[in-house]
Structure 1
Amino acid sequence: MAARPIEFDREEALMTRAVDAFWCYGYEALPTATLAEQMGVSKSSLYNTFGTKRELLLETIAAYVDAKAGAIREVAASPRLFQPLKALLLDIVEDNDNGRGCLLVNTSAELGLHDVGVRQLVHSGFQAIMDAFELLMIAGQRSGEFKRDLDSANMTLMLVTTIAGLRVLAKAGFEAHQLAPAVENLLATIAS
């Protein structure tokens, strides 16, 4: 007897709906039935297609990282770098992904101490984001938009650390006008 074909768009279910579900609820507070409902699939389809809830979380994190790092690499390949970087940082303090924050930061805070596999994946995810931002830093230095004497690896670490902190503070209720000076100080450190 042949297996029934998948009757939903796997990428849509993963990239949009699963990411949104884990972003909104976190991992522990998200019942599998709610996760399946949010994804628009039955529980049996969820298990048959993605495995366990934890396996789905891991795949979701990997997909999230690919999307975020890809977007940063696109900016790094563009002719102008300072304004898109500034816009990205200001969007974090003003919107913070609709108040959800960063899936890597959220998952690390929730599960990082207790789940070695998740912690390793989140660490790798942050490294991929940092690698993409380092490309942006190097491109900005080459174009003259960013200071040439900056250590791109150290600046990237400062950038990602600042972004993670901004996301946490924004989720804690700090207003954009309170966080914007941190963005301006960081940009002043980078800009030529």
Structure 2
Amino acid sequence: MSGTARDRGRPRGFDADAVLDRAVEVFWRRGYEGASLSDLTEAMGINRPSMYAAYGNKEQLFRAAIARYAAVDMAYAGEALRQETGFAVIATFLHTNADALTRADRPPGCLSIQGGLATGSAGVAEFLAASRLAGEQALAERLRRAVAEGDLPAGTDPAGLARYVMVVSEGNAVHAAAGADRASLHRTVDIALRAVPGG
């Protein structure tokens, strides 16, 4: 809600990024539905009026947490898109994703998957689906360029290949949340890469 009338002239007495990082962890561990306002405000170290003033309601806080998660915990995705070849883009994305899903200092799995697997909020489910689709479309666009440059074989379906990569990534996220270790996720990636042209 940055820039709205209600938070202009009301300075925040907290580090917004640090507070959001704590909200990210609560949503990640408990999911959108499982994270109560009490859980969130206690972890964030702020009271409810401060939370409402800074972020609006719970759904708006969740959207802010997802944006923070994308910028910090998923920064590897942007780095993968900058690789020189289409195969390197995919391999880098899937391997760094496997690492991210199993970081010792973060909950296992993926916030965008765990956050909404069992949500009863249509708005949250649609938001998460749109967020995942945006990532898939960015990957498809990069693969489209790889086909145009002759880096991937003519006839490669960039959209279909991007969907395949995301299915592998999202499947690994579910398994990581269930306790699969990093090595097993990387083995899955290695098998999946055999189907990627240009490898």
Amino acid at match of 1:76: L
Kept in 2, the 8 Å contact 1:73–1:135? The answer is no
Query: For residues 93 and 105 of structure 1, what CA distance do their matches in structure 2 show?
Result: 14
Aligned to 2:24: 19
Aligned to 1:30: 35
Q: CA deviation at 1:153?
A: 0.3
**Moved runs in structure 1, 4+ residues, more than 6 A?**
none
Aligned to 2:81: 76
Query: For residues 142 and 182 of structure 1, what CA distance do their matches in structure 2 show?
Result: 29
Amino acid at match of 1:23: W
Query: For residues 60 and 81 of structure 2, what CA distance do their matches in structure 1 show?
Result: 32
Q: CA deviation at 1:87?
A: 3.9
Question: Is 1:41 matched with 2:46?
Answer: yes
Greater Cα offset, 102-111 or 179-188: 179-188
Aligned to 1:51: 56
Aligned match of 2:116 in 108, 126, 130? Answer: 108
More helix by share: 1
Kept in 2, the 8 Å contact 1:76–1:139? The answer is no
- Number of residues of Structure 1 aligned to a counterpart in Structure 2: 188
Greater Cα offset, 46-55 or 29-38: 29-38
Query: For residues 145 and 191 of structure 1, what CA distance do their matches in structure 2 show?
Result: 9
Kept in 2, the 8 Å contact 1:130–1:156? The answer is yes
Kept in 2, the 8 Å contact 1:65–1:128? The answer is no
CA deviation profile, 1:43-89 (whole Å, cap 9, x unmatched): 32112111222321133234434667765344323435644642442
Q: Work out the percentage of aligned pairs sharing the same amino acid.
A: 24
| TM-score, structure 1 as length reference | 0.78
Q: CA deviation at 1:131?
A: 1.5
Q: CA RMSD in A?
A: 2.9
Q: What residue ranges of structure 2 are gaps of 5+ in the alignment?
A: 1-7
Amino acid at match of 2:139: F
Q: What residue ranges of structure 1 are gaps of 5+ in the alignment?
A: none
Aligned to 2:127: 121
